[in-house]
Amino acid sequence: MTRQRVLITTAILLLIAILALPAIPPRSQAQGDRLNVIASFSILADVVAQVAGEDAAVTSLMPVGANPHAYSPSAQDVAALSDADLVFVVGANYEEGLLPVLREAAGANVVAASQCVPIRPISGVVDPDHHAEQHDGEHNGERGHEEPVRFGAPCDTHYEAVAAAFDQDAAALLSGTLGPLNTLACPGDVHHDEKDEHAHDPGSCDPHVWTDPLNAALWTLTIRDTLAARDPDHADAYAANAEHYLGELAALDAEVRALIETIPADRRAIITNHAAFNYFAARYGLELVGVVIPGGSTTSEPSVQEVLRLIETVQAHHVAAIFTETTVSEALARQIADETGAALVPLYTGSLSQPEDGAGTYLDYIRFNAATIAEALR
């Protein structure tokens, strides 16, 4: 047999052996190979981890203590996003500095956890009269990108599930705390290519949805469905984890409501460093009368006139405390506190804490903030 014939025969035998091998299963089904999931920041990562349990490896892109509004991804972040099976983001333009990287590195693997959450407009700004007038005009259609977007399946079933878990009437829930079955279109988000210069103007989308546990419950169901679709072998486990976590969120909601109700009705006006507690205030009956940093981001600064009006607001409402943040400078808030005598009280907003500091999980984060607010206002 010539050398050429030997080579041909060997190649045929190798091909037959390869074809006889069993097919390699998909990543999600390979034994001992868990889904690789990234969440944009620590709060979302914790909620994803509660649903994923042991069947997916969940990490936070941003470290604990980072300011999400100002975070700049590293080369390692880009590589991690490219390798991930799923990337969960808040959506509603929250990950403003990550959008180009997300589109380029993660593409179709990016999932907005807030896709079934009714998005509120940014409110609680320094000049309530001026901005309330502007806000009303924008909702009447003067800003074309704020057209209502109607929810459908599976969001409608998510609302029913949340209503059942929180032991509330679904119709009342939808027309009350959660708002109607529509939201604002948020340009500049992961599903939009255009850059919106008004992304954080008053009346635009407020992405800080997680400060209301009801919205974290809606996150939970979207995360459950997304994980199950990508990893059907563990769908039952994801469903069980989500059901358990919904119960914990409902208990948390009742706990926080009872705590906030201990605050006298005439002491429930609050001012925060930036517009991060709109959803929390609406859920628990607090009056958000102003913010130090205008808009929904932390990168803008108020004018001198806005600072003076905010000082007047503190005095007019007898605001006891200005709530600052662990991830954002309190310099401007301190100036206002010095002028008015209001206390400065730090809260966690865009990040969890280290476990030993009392806000290491989402549940502890909400408890910490609620207890801190109640103590400061009482």
Highest averaged pLDDT of the listed ranges 20-34, 141-155, 360-374: 360-374
Range scoring the smallest mean pLDDT among 24-38, 63-77, 207-221, 349-363: 24-38
pLDDT above 90 for 152: no
What are 330's two structure tokens? 């309190």
Of 304, 308, 317, 270, which Cα lies nearest the Cα of 290? Answer: 270
**Quick one: pLDDT at residue 314?**
93
Instruction: Select from 255, 274, 302 the last residue of a domain.
Output: 255
- The pair of three-digit structure tokens given for residue 1, joined into one six-digit string: 């047999």
**Helix (H), strand (E), coil (C) string for 26-52:** CHHHCCCCCEEEEECCHHHHHHHHHHH
Q: Are residues 103 and 199 in the same domain?
A: yes
Rounded CA gap, 319 and 293, in Å?
17
Q: Are residues 351 and 329 in the same domain?
A: yes
Residue 44 pLDDT > 60: yes
CB 229 within 8 A of CB 209: no
Q: Which two tokens stand for residue 184?
A: 């604002």
Range of the domain at 373: 259-377
Distance CA 160, CA 10 (A): 63
Do 31 and 177 lie in a common domain?
yes
SS3 string of 322-345?
EEEECCCCCHHHHHHHHHHCCEEE
Residues 90 and 186 in one domain: yes
Of 106, 96, 93, 52, which is closest to residue 70 (Cα–Cα)?
A: 96
What pLDDT sits at residue 144?
A: 34
Q: Calculate mean pLDDT across residues 293-298.
A: 62
**Domain assignment of residue 341, yes or no:** yes
pLDDT value of position 369: 97
Instruction: Please check the confidence at residue 178 and state whether its pLDDT lies above 80.
Output: no
Instruction: Of 121, 96, 278, 105, give the one whose Cα is nearest residue 189.
Output: 96
Residues 271 and 243 in one domain: no
In a domain, 200, yes or no: yes
Q: Name the pTM for this structure.
A: 0.82
pLDDT average, residue stretch 18-22: 35
Looking at the structure, do residues 267 and 249 belong to the same domain, yes or no?
no
Same domain, 241 and 161: yes
CATH of the domain at 162: 3.40.50.1980
**Distances, alpha carbon 100 to alpha carbons 79, 93, 95, 96, 356, in Å:** 14, 12, 10, 9, 35
> Is the pLDDT reported for residue 135 higher than 70?
no
Confidence at residue 93, expressed as pLDDT on a 0 to 100 scale: 86
Instruction: Indicate whether 22 belongs to any domain.
Output: no
Is residue 62 domain-shared with residue 165, that is, in the same domain? yes
Q: Is 359 helix (H, G, I), strand (E, B) or coil?
A: coil
Q: Is the peptide bond before 154 cis (omega within 30 degrees of 0)?
A: yes
Contact 178, 243 (CB under 8 A): no
**Does residue 371 share a domain with residue 279?**
yes
Compute the half-sphere exposure of residue 96: CA atoms within 13 Å on the CB side of its CA.
22
Token readout for 75 is 């080369």
Per-residue pLDDT at 68: 86
Q: Residue 349, SS3?
A: coil
- Above 80 in pLDDT, residue 16? no
CB–CB of 111/88 below 8 Å? yes
Residue 269 pLDDT? 94
pLDDT tens track for 94-123:
987 788 899 899 999 999 999 988 888 876
Given 206, 231, 255, the domain boundary residue is 255
d(CA 345, CA 325): 8
Asked if 106 contacts 207 with a C-beta cutoff of 8 angstroms, the reply is no
Q: Are residues 195 and 323 in the same domain?
A: no
Q: Do 109 and 226 belong to one domain?
A: yes
From 198, 229, 255, the end of a domain falls on 255
Q: What is the pLDDT of residue 25?
A: 37
- End-to-end CA distance of the chain, in Å? 96
Band (220; pLDDT cuts 50, 70, 90): very high
Of 53, 14, 3, 39, which is closest to residue 239 (Cα–Cα)? 53
Q: Using CB atoms within 10 A of its CB, is residue 308 exposed (0-12), middle (13-18) or buried (19+)?
A: middle
Among residues 191, 183, 63, the alpha carbon closest in space to that of 120 is found at 183
Distances 247 to 47, 90, 158, 171 between C-alpha atoms, Å: 13, 22, 14, 20
Task: Please give the angle made by the CA atoms of 45, 73 and 205, to the nearest 5 degrees.
Answer: 65
Do 237 and 304 lie in one domain? The reply is no
Position 17 pLDDT exceeds 80: no
Q: How many domains does the chain have?
A: 2
